[in-house]
Every structure is written in structure tokens, then in C-alpha cells.
């Protein structure tokens, strides 16, 4: 069996920037354990596989995402990387790519050189019952707001506090599994970092689905 693997940096216009994903197009699904082992071998935040969808449905492709340790239900940057591969190298010609996934139908629209993602959104709610040890898990950070939807979102006082946060990954894994920290930026709208040690990704460079 021969597979072709592409490593694509999403959310960037420069080499070695953004968030890298391993993208593997398939004709049919591999065994789940094999896909997980490939993702472990790649050791990137995400390895994404896609296959042609069955005829007659809305979707063009079926898509699945794996971290080094587990399959997840949604990943933004790897989906964007898959669409880039389809348009730029595999010469997909429709202006919209529709992927079927565990999170439903995901659509990527191409306008000139721009790819736009239409993803599910989860309305955040104030989280009034913070996990024990959360402050310590974030290295003693001053948490000024806490929200929860699909992920946990902690607001810190400023950009410097986000940059200087020194998380305890073992404690995050035992406390909240994964967390996004954010603050108003100095020269941008906001800054953020994402930690998901439970899923084999201590620090993910972007995390499109969380945003």
C-alpha cells in the first residue's frame, strides 16, 4: 500500500509559519488503528484523511482528523489544508467543497486565492464553576473571565499575560483536558494560545475550531 502525505501550513503566507497539518487523500478508509498510528508517527497536532463521498449526497468528501493520541470531531486548520490541497494540487473545480464529518457538513468556498470556511459555532456561556486547580494549571495566571462551549476559554488581563503563561500540562490534563487562553491584543484584536495535552497536543499553534 502506497499513500501520499502532504504537510501543509494553514493560516499563514510564509514557509514554516501557521499551523501544520499532515493531509492524506484516500480512495477508501483505512483501518482506524492504522490511521491513528500514522498520526502518531507524524507527531503533528493533526493528521487529516479524506475520501470521496458516496454518490447522491450533499458532500463531495468524507473527512476525519487524528491527533497523535486520538480521533477528534472537528479541526479547522486541517480542513483548510485539505481544501488547499484539493484546489491547488488535485485540481478540484467546484467553487465550494463540502466535507461530511462527525460535526456535520463543512463547506469551504474559494474566491480567487481566498478560502473561506463555514463551520459550526457554539455560543459561549459564562462558566461559574471553574475546575479545581485551574489557576495553578495555568501557572498561576490571573483569570478575569471564564467561558465554556465546546472548549474552555479563559480570559487573561492582557497580551503579556497570555505570552508569559507557563502552563502545567499534567495539571491541565487532570483538571480541564483542554483550554484556550486569550486577551485583548496590543496591536491586534486579540491574542490566544491553546493547550490540549489530553489529546497529545501540549500547545497547538492556532486551533481554528476553537476560534
Give yes or no for a contact between 138 and 197, defined as CB atoms under 8 angstroms apart.
no
**62 DSSP β-pair partners:** 51, 100
Cα–Cα distance, 150 to 67 (Å, whole number): 17
**Phi, psi (degrees; rounded to nearest 5) at 59:** -80, 150
Cα–Cα distance, 170 to 163 (Å, whole number): 20
Strand stretches in 18-137, DSSP E: 19-25, 46-52, 61-66, 71-72, 96-101, 104-111, 114-118, 125-126
SS3 label, residue 198: helix
Catalytic-role residue among 46, 93, 125, 160: 46
SS3 label, residue 36: helix
CA distance to 18, 22, 60, 78, 211, per residue, from 5 (Å): 18, 6, 20, 13, 27
At 211, list the grid cell. Answer: 476560534
71 is catalytic: no
| CB atoms near residue 205 (< 10 Å) | 17
> Which residues does the annotation mark as catalytic?
46
Amino acid at each position: 500500500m502506497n499513500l501520499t502525505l502532504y504537510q501543509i501550513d494553514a493560516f499563514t503566507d510564509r514557509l514554516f509559519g501557521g499551523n501544520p497539518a499532515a493531509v492524506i487523500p484516500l480512495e477508501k478508509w483505512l483501518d482506524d488503528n492504522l490511521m491513528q498510528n500514522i498520526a502518531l508517527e507524524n507527531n503533528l497536532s493533526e493528521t487529516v484523511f479524506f475520501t470521496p463521498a458516496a454518490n447522491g449526497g450533499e458532500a463531495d468528501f468524507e473527512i476525519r482528523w487524528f491527533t497523535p493520541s486520538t480521533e477528534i470531531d472537528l479541526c479547522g486548520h486541517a480542513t483548510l489544508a485539505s481544501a488547499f490541497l484539493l484546489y491547488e494540487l488535485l485540481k478540484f473545480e467546484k467553487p465550494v467543497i463540502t466535507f461530511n464529518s462527525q460535526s456535520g457538513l463543512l463547506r469551504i468556498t474559494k474566491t480567487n486565492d481566498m478560502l473561506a470556511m463555514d463551520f459550526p459555532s457554539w455560543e459561549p456561556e459564562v462558566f461559574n464553576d471553574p475546575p479545581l486547580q485551574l489557576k495553578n494549571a495555568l501557572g498561576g495566571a490571573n483569570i478575569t473571565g471564564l467561558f465554556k462551549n465546546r472548549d474552555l476559554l479563559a480570559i487573561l488581563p492582557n497580551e503579556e499575560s497570555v505570552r508569559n503563561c507557563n502552563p502545567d500540562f499534567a495539571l491541565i490534563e487532570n483538571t480541564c483536558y483542554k483550554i484556550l487562553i486569550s486577551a485583548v491584543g496590543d496591536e491586534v484584536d486579540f491574542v490566544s494560545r491553546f493547550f490540549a495535552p489530553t489529546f497529545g497536543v501540549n500547545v497547538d499553534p492556532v486551533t481554528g475550531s476553537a476560534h
